[in-house]
Amino acid sequence: MWSDGRLCYGGDYNPEQWPARVWAEDVALMRRARVNLVTVGVFAWSRLEPAPGRYTFDWLDQVLDLLHSGGIRVALATPTASPPPWFSLAHPGALPVTADGVRLHHGSRDTYCAATPAYREAALRIAGALADRYAHHPALALWHVHNEYGTTCHCEHTARAFRRWLADRHGDLATLNDVWTTSFWSQHYSDWAQISTPRATQYLANPGHLLDFRRFWSDTLLAAYTEQRDLLRAANPAIPITTNYVLGDWVPVDHARWAREVDLVAVDHYPSAADGGAEEQTALAGDLARGWARHAATGRRTPVAAGRATTDPPATPDPPAWLLMESAPNQIHTGGRMHTKEPGRMIRHSLAHVARGSHGAMFFQWRAPAGGAERFHSALVPHAGPDSRVFREAAELGAALERLTEVQGSVEASVAVAVDAPSAWALRQPGLPSPRLDHHEEVAAAHRALWHTGYGCDTVAPGDPLDGYRLLVLPALYLASDTTADWVRDYVHGGGHLLATYLSGAADEHARVRLGGYPGALRDVLGVWAEEFHPLADGDHVRLADGGTGLVWAETLRPAGADAVGWYAGGVLDGLPAVTRHRHGAGTAWYVSTRPDDDTYRRLLDRAARAAGATPVCPDAPPGVEAVRRRGDRVSWLFLLNHTDRELRVPARGVDLLTGAPVDEAVILPPGGVAVLRERTG
Ligand code: GLA
């Protein structure tokens, strides 16, 4: 349970954007909406340190005291994602440089290079000043370090740090030359000083170089986080520390590895699809966050009551903690246009995260500003003020979260979907057979199919324990080290069911293609080898003999022990296997040599999951109702979310915590409605 026992509810609060007279109204409205946690100070550096070493904490003192007197706890941010103008003027060399060699200027946010000593020192100084002043403030519940680590740079500081990182990783130049295959195109390095960051170049860049640059940035940004964390922890070891993860292709952060360094995983989630895709994306984000949180076993501590002034490190909670740190109270940003969330949708999205283990629901942002770059971003208190649908729904959510205080425990999942940041980075590189290869997209497609068929899903990283899962899905898990291949092999050999899709295991951890036929490292487990690939054009597809459709990719597949269970129909691949199944040890391994379209994927994964002995969370739930179950000790909670505009009946028993009503046979969900049933299990 999170801190004072309640689920967290609140969001980014930017009092520095408002005159002091608004603050009292803010606290009164927060109490009305039952907000209990706010993130303060994320972008307040220039208001906290208006000149180097001159601090103006008086306003923050007042704000924290006011919040505390209103019973609202604080996630205090270090404001290091947005250095003040004076910093950039004093240290122009700390401004970031793009791959094209263009130095960016002050004027937005994130205008720093995290590999630059001057920036790191200034960041530590302001973090230290905040720690000195507030580490024992009674409102302080959590440190929120920085904001959405993810920026990169190509300056000379970065190049030097990159070379040091490479020397550390590879040991000597001979190894680096080997794993980067620098004999191709005369790229052999004879001195570390010859290596730069992968700047814009004439034609295709070296894949090993590109991949290591992403890994380097993940480690460099992590070091920037951990040095702040250590300083904050030293000031009061009882206060948990986190940073908010941002999701997206551009982010060079391996979130699974980072999770070991945070006290709880915190994610920001903004769906990009306005239709049902927003619900599918929400479910995936929640499952990803929970998957990362399982890595947080070491160094993570239980969030504690605000201001607990003890030096005892809190105990490790079970199940692992994660929190939805930011989401949008209203609009979904989709292709440049803002889509207004329909009534009830914000609450459904929030409860979908709680169903998946989030310790509450937090938002960007509390109050909508009149100016600034994000002046039209939605807020719990919109431009229209509190007499608005959005604020009324905010208050409704606050009340709903209070009624769910008892919900805890693990999330039921019979299927594991593997997610691997380096595979995602490597599949977005140039020079691949198709620009449409995308590990994240493949993860999303598999997850979407499982979500629609009702299977509870965990996401795992290569090497994670797989006990208890009926089925492991590898969606284009392109990079497989020998260790990763053994992880898969052992799972299947020991009786596990596997479904791997195209290109899984095709390359090693340095993005070098494994020879002898795709899918490289996994050929023996899958009992197939692919001789040739056939990338498909945008809008193109291949037909399958069972009436299904394949997208993106197809292969000339040769069974080598596996049985064909699906075939291509038409075209050059007519009659050749598309999907195979192989007995390996005590287990079964399916191989899918194309990307099934959504309908085909649902049928296929349903078939593989059933064959593996998995069952949907709520087999009687009608289409359009999402069912997620949390399990505690002798009790479980069934979340039922009606994503349709029709009233739907779901056979179930228990007590609906949101209404207090007993449910004997079935719950009737109004259009867009939610029920959370307490089910007795023993
Ligand atoms: C991110 C940031 C916030 C805000 C929102 C808006 O998640 O952390 O500061 O910019 O996006 O979408």
pLDDT tens track for 477-533: 999 999 999 999 999 999 999 999 999 999 999 999 999 999 999 999 999 999 999
Give the contacts of 362 (CB within 8 A, at least 6 positions apart).
8, 9, 10, 11, 12, 37, 39, 323, 324, 325, 326, 327
* Euclidean distance between the first and the last CA atom of the chain, given in angstroms as a whole number: 22
| Distance separating alpha carbons of residues 188 and 677, to the nearest angstrom | 63
Q: What is the pLDDT, as a whole number, of residue 499? A: 99
Q: What is the pLDDT, as a whole number, of residue 457? A: 97
Comparing CA positions, the residue from 633, 673, 679, 627 lying closest to residue 653 is: 679
Residue 320 confidence (pLDDT) above 80:
no
**Token pair recorded at residue 612:** 């593996």
Q: Is 342 left (phi over 0), alpha (psi -120 to 50) or beta?
A: beta
Q: What is the pLDDT, as a whole number, of residue 321? A: 86
Q: What is the pLDDT, as a whole number, of residue 160? A: 98
For the chain, give the longest Cα–Cα distance: 75
The CATH architecture one would assign to domain 625-679 is Sandwich (2.60)
| Distance separating alpha carbons of residues 536 and 550, to the nearest angstrom | 9
Q: What is the pLDDT, as a whole number, of residue 680? A: 79
* Ligand 1 touching residue 374 (CB < 6 A): yes
Comparing CA positions, the residue from 571, 517, 523 lying closest to residue 544 is: 571
Residue 607 confidence (pLDDT) above 90:
yes
Residue 575 confidence (pLDDT) above 50:
yes
| Ligand 1 mean position, distance from CA 270 (Å) | 9
Segment 384-408 shows an average pLDDT of: 97
- Which residues on neighbouring strands pair with residue 638, listed in sequence order? 629, 677
Pocket test residue of 17, 78, 148 for ligand 1, highest count of atoms within 8 A of CB: 148
Residue 427 confidence (pLDDT) above 70:
yes
- Please answer whether residues 563 and 407 qualify as being in contact, where contact means their C-beta atoms are separated by less than 8 angstroms: no
- Which residues on neighbouring strands pair with residue 265, listed in sequence order? 322
* Ligand 1 touching residue 590 (CB < 6 A): no
- Please provide the size of the chain in residues: 682
Under the banding of pLDDT at 50, 70 and 90, the label for residue 297 is: low
The mean pLDDT value of the chain amounts to 95
| Distance separating alpha carbons of residues 7 and 401, to the nearest angstrom | 6
| Distance separating alpha carbons of residues 543 and 551, to the nearest angstrom | 9
* Ligand 1 touching residue 377 (CB < 6 A): yes
Ligand 1: which atom is nearest the Cα of residue 333? 12
- The residues that are catalytic are 148, 326
Q: What is the pLDDT, as a whole number, of residue 316? A: 39
The H or E element that residue 361 is part of is strand 358-363
| Ligand 1 mean position, distance from CA 330 (Å) | 13
Helices (H), 454-564: 482-493, 523-526
| Ligand 1 mean position, distance from CA 552 (Å) | 32
* Ligand 1 touching residue 148 (CB < 6 A): yes
Q: What is the pLDDT, as a whole number, of residue 262? A: 96
In the chain, pLDDT over 70 holds for what percent of residues?
A: 96
Ligand 1: which atom is nearest the Cα of residue 326? 7
* Ligand 1 touching residue 487 (CB < 6 A): no
Under the banding of pLDDT at 50, 70 and 90, the label for residue 318 is: low
Give the contacts of 213 (CB within 8 A, at least 6 positions apart).
152, 162, 197, 198, 252
Residue 654 confidence (pLDDT) above 50:
yes
**CATH topology for 413-611?**
Rossmann fold (3.40.50)
Regarding beta strands 410-411 and 415-418, do their DSSP bridges make them parallel or antiparallel, or are they unpaired?
unpaired
Pocket test residue of 149, 268, 362, 363 for ligand 1, highest count of atoms within 8 A of CB: 268
Strands (E), 440-569: 457-460, 471-474, 497-501, 528-533, 542-544, 549-551, 555-559, 563-569
Residue 310 confidence (pLDDT) above 50:
no
Tell me phi and psi for residue 499, to 5 degrees.
-130, 110
* Ligand 1 touching residue 147 (CB < 6 A): yes
Q: Is 5 left (phi over 0), alpha (psi -120 to 50) or beta?
A: left
The SS3 call for residue 405 is coil
| Ligand 1 mean position, distance from CA 364 (Å) | 6
Query: How many other CB atoms sit within 10 Å of the CB of residue 89?
Result: 10
The H or E element that residue 389 is part of is helix 389-403
| Distance separating alpha carbons of residues 552 and 143, to the nearest angstrom | 44
Residue having the nearest C-alpha atom to atom 5 of ligand 1? 364
Task: Let me know if 680 is exposed, middle or buried by CB neighbors in 10 A (0-12, 13-18, 19+).
Answer: exposed
**Token pair recorded at residue 120:** 């790191």
Whole-prediction pTM value? 0.96
Residue 577 confidence (pLDDT) above 60:
yes
The H or E element that residue 589 is part of is strand 587-592
Residue 307 confidence (pLDDT) above 70:
no
* Ligand 1 touching residue 270 (CB < 6 A): yes
Under the banding of pLDDT at 50, 70 and 90, the label for residue 336 is: confident
Ligand 1: which atom is nearest the Cα of residue 42? 9
Segment 436-460 shows an average pLDDT of: 98
Q: What is the pLDDT of residues 61-94, one digit of tens each?
A: 999 999 999 999 999 999 999 999 999 999 999 9
Under the banding of pLDDT at 50, 70 and 90, the label for residue 3 is: low
* Ligand 1 touching residue 327 (CB < 6 A): no
| Ligand 1 mean position, distance from CA 280 (Å) | 21
* Ligand 1 touching residue 364 (CB < 6 A): yes
- Please answer whether residues 133 and 76 qualify as being in contact, where contact means their C-beta atoms are separated by less than 8 angstroms: no
Give the contacts of 642 (CB within 8 A, at least 6 positions apart).
624, 625, 648, 669, 670, 671, 672, 673, 674
Q: Is 571 left (phi over 0), alpha (psi -120 to 50) or beta?
A: left
* Ligand 1 touching residue 268 (CB < 6 A): yes
* Ligand 1 touching residue 110 (CB < 6 A): no
Q: How many helices (H) and strands (E) does the chain have?
A: 17, 31
Q: What is the pLDDT of residues 225-281, one digit of tens each?
A: 999 999 999 999 999 999 999 999 999 999 999 999 999 999 999 999 999 899 999
* Ligand 1 touching residue 245 (CB < 6 A): no
Residue 306 confidence (pLDDT) above 60:
no
CA torsion sign for 16, 44, 230, 261 is: positive
* Ligand 1 touching residue 326 (CB < 6 A): yes
- Please answer whether residues 285 and 267 qualify as being in contact, where contact means their C-beta atoms are separated by less than 8 angstroms: yes
Ligand 1: which atom is nearest the Cα of residue 244? 8
Under the banding of pLDDT at 50, 70 and 90, the label for residue 312 is: very low
Higher per-residue pLDDT: 15 or 298: 15
| Ligand 1 mean position, distance from CA 285 (Å) | 16
The SS3 call for residue 76 is strand
Ligand 1: which atom is nearest the Cα of residue 147? 8
Residue 361 confidence (pLDDT) above 90:
yes
Q: What is the pLDDT of residues 154-166, one digit of tens each?
A: 999 999 999 999 9
The domains of the chain are located at: 8-85+111-150+216-405, 413-611, 625-679
Pocket test residue of 326, 362, 376 for ligand 1, highest count of atoms within 8 A of CB: 326
Ligand 1: which atom is nearest the Cα of residue 270? 12
DSSP secondary structure code for residue 265 in this structure: E
**Token pair recorded at residue 169:** 């990783």
Pocket test residue of 242, 374, 376 for ligand 1, highest count of atoms within 8 A of CB: 374
Q: Does domain 8-85+111-150+216-405 have CATH number 1.10.1040.10?
A: no
